[in-house]
Chains A and B, each alone.
Chain A
Amino acid sequence: MRRTLTLVFVLGGFALQAISYFFLAAPLGAQVNEAFSNPRVPFAALLFVLGVMAVFLAAVVYELLPERYGE
């Protein structure tokens, strides 16, 4: 349970970073028009930051959660 949740936080955090960076934020490439300036989804940058936080939060999950219920 603890290990699984830790892994979810680590992988989920990295996934959130990758998705927000490549697919939700403003497109990569030369800024030929304003579509390259604005994010495709609002608050994509915030999602990236939340991804960074989730990866570090995995350490708290790993250390605080019991291995199984009742431990």
Chain B
Amino acid sequence: MATRASVERLPYGIGRWSAGWVAVTGLSLAVLALGVFAFARQLIEGEVVTGLRNIGTMGGATWGLYVAFIVYFGGVSFAGITIAAMIRLLNLKHLRPISRMALVLAVISIILAALSVLIDLGQPFRALINLPLYGRPMSPFFGTFSVVISGYLFAGLVYLYLDGRRDAAICAERSEGVRQTFYRLWAAGYRGTPAERERHQRATFWLAIAILPLLVIATSTLGFVFGLQVGRPGWFGALQAPGFVILAGVSGVGHIIVLAAILRRVLGAEDQLNPHVFQWLGNLLMILTATYLYFWAAEWVTTSYAGHHHEVALSNALLTGEYAWLFWLSVGSLLVPFLLLARQFVTGQYRLGVMVVSGVLVNVAAIGKRILIVIPSQTHGTLLPYGTGSYSPTWVEYSVVLGLLALGALLLTLFMRVFPIVEIPQYAEGG
């Protein structure tokens, strides 16, 4: 066991549990328990307890909230690893403090995405055998699970491990007992010699180069799951893959802004997470939001002006019909942050609160848009002579999704209690 003195020498409150941390952990555990209970109901009684039904014959949707969140979590993960890789490749030293939190966010998000896939399947444990046994690597569906999930997860874990060796060595010097053993294992003999640093620089540079194309291909693959379905109005289209990449960036950068703002306050890391970091993230979010709004407008004009009547009917359901509230909520949740961030960019007066609000709003938009991509095409987009369908998630689906979000919060909290989520500054190495 580590002594009180050794724990106090560790940075960012590692090993210390204040009332606030205990409350966050307790709340996360309670919501997670609700999610586990709901999932157990689904597992025992089948997917009949969800709002999912067959398309056409049962007038429902086979892909619902779970699939929307697979895409959402995958997108957040994409942005996390991409930002960490870009920081390394472009040598953006002032952004180093957000690199690790981006990686942790990426790893946690992809775990949640993998769980969402399994939860969506009627027999998740059977799928664990059948996917690796019978999967076709050339299928976009398999690509979602192999390249996206295994690739992101493994790339993120490797990057996180290598990136954390230096800080693990520092923490090992300041701790004792089981905690010290853990840090020593992570550090794997790292001493910070010039040769080691150079090797680390070279390894992470090539890792970043390998990661970036994989990520773009993988996220595009997720887009192709929808974009290649020629018989499904609203899905089939060339903009799905690039749109998925951009929207992934929007939601991920929004997440990182919110997380960085919370950690800046909670960990007292004002020096590392300074206004310059947020300024850079805010400008990046503004560009990504503008790009996605352009994509969205281009898609809408094409389908509503020149699309066949099935596309127009779907477009009407989105603009003025059943899904209009969510459509306009999502548009507004992208447009407002863009205008706020553009105003900051033009005036040069950046405010943290504005950026946090923008980060939250773009994630509302990202979730809304993912729901709008997944569901209306099934209920209103069939080419077969079925009537329009409907889909309403049940309490089971809402509880499971909330449980997943709580699991994410719990994993993040636990990580922060055992390892520095913000890189220890160079000047603090000595102790």
Residues of A within 8 A of B (CB): 20-21, 25-26, 28, 37-39, 42-46, 48-49, 52-53, 55-57, 59-60, 62-64
Contacts and interface: CB of A to CB of B under 8 A. Distances in A.
B205 to A, nearest CB: 10
Nearest to A63: B203
Contacts of A49: 132, 146, 150
Contacts of B199: 62-63
Contacts of A26: 136
A52 B134 contact: no
Q: Assign chain B's interface to a size class.
A: 20 to 34
Which 10 pairs between the two chains have the least Cβ-Cβ distance?
A45-B135, A46-B132, A63-B203, A59-B207, A48-B137, A49-B150, A56-B158, A59-B203, A53-B154, A21-B137
Nearest to A50: B150
Tell me whether chain B's interface is mostly helix, strand or loop, or mixed.
helix
A9 B210 CA distance: 14
B91 to A, nearest CB: 18
Contacts of B136: 25-26, 37, 39, 45
Contact of B132 (A45, A52, A56): A45
Contacts of A44: 135, 137
Nearest to B207: A59
A59 B133 contact: no
A46 to B, nearest CB: 4
Given A38-B134, A45-B131, A52 B207 contact: no
A10 to B, nearest CB: 9
A25 B131 CA distance: 12
A64 to B, nearest CB: 6
B150 A53 contact: yes
B21 interface: no
B132 A59 contact: no
Interface string B170-208: 000000000000000000110000000001101110110
B374 to A, nearest CB: 24
A53 B338 CA distance: 38
